[in-house]
Amino acid sequence: MENIFSLSRFGNLVNKHFREHLRTYLMSLIVFGAIILIFFMFILNTGNRTTITIEDQFVVCGVTLFLGIFIFAGNIFSDYNHSRSAFVTTMLPGSIFEKYLLYWLVSLIGFTLFALGTYHLSQTIIIEYVKTQGVEPIRFFVWNVTNTSPPSKWIFLVYALIHSVAFLGAISFRKKTVIVTALISFAIISAYIYLNHRTTIVALYGDSTPIPFVPVTVHLPTGYATLNAPNNELWAIIFISVLVILLWICAYFKLKERQV
The pLDDT tens digits for 62-72 are 999 999 999 99
% of the chain surpassing 70 pLDDT: 81
Contacts (Cβ under 8 Å, ≥6 apart) of 79: 85, 86, 88, 89
Question: Tell me: the pLDDT tens digits for 78-113?
Answer: 888 776 666 567 777 778 888 899 999 999 999 999
The pTM assigned to this predicted structure is: 0.87
Mean pLDDT of the chain: 84
What is the per-residue pLDDT across 182-220, written as a single tens digit (0 to 9) for each?
Answer: 999 999 988 888 887 777 776 666 566 666 776 666 665
Which residues form the domain of 53? 7-259
- DSSP H stretches of helix in 75-176: 78-81, 83-90, 96-104, 111-131, 152-172
The number of distinct structural domains making up the chain is 1
| Under 8 Å between Cβ of 137 and 127 | yes
Helix (H) or strand (E) holding 56: helix 54-74
Residue 202 is assigned to a structural domain of this protein: yes
Q: What is the pLDDT of residue 45?
A: 84
Residue 32 to residues 46, 66, 90: CA-CA distances in angstroms? 21, 12, 30
User: Has residue 1 been placed in a domain?
Assistant: no
- Per the domain annotation, does 53 fall within a domain? yes
pLDDT of residue 223: 60
Question: Which residues face 220 on adjacent strands?
Answer: 223
pLDDT in tens, 140-153: 887 766 666 667 78
Inter-CA distances, 98 with 1, 25, 67, 123, Å: 12, 21, 27, 36
Partners of residue 218 on adjacent β-strands: 225
pLDDT number for residue 193: 82
Which stretch of 74-83, 132-141, 216-225 has the lowest confidence by average pLDDT?
A: 216-225
Binned at pLDDT 50, 70 and 90, residue 234 comes out as confident
The identity of residue 42, as a single letter, is F
54: confidence class by pLDDT, cuts 50, 70, 90: confident
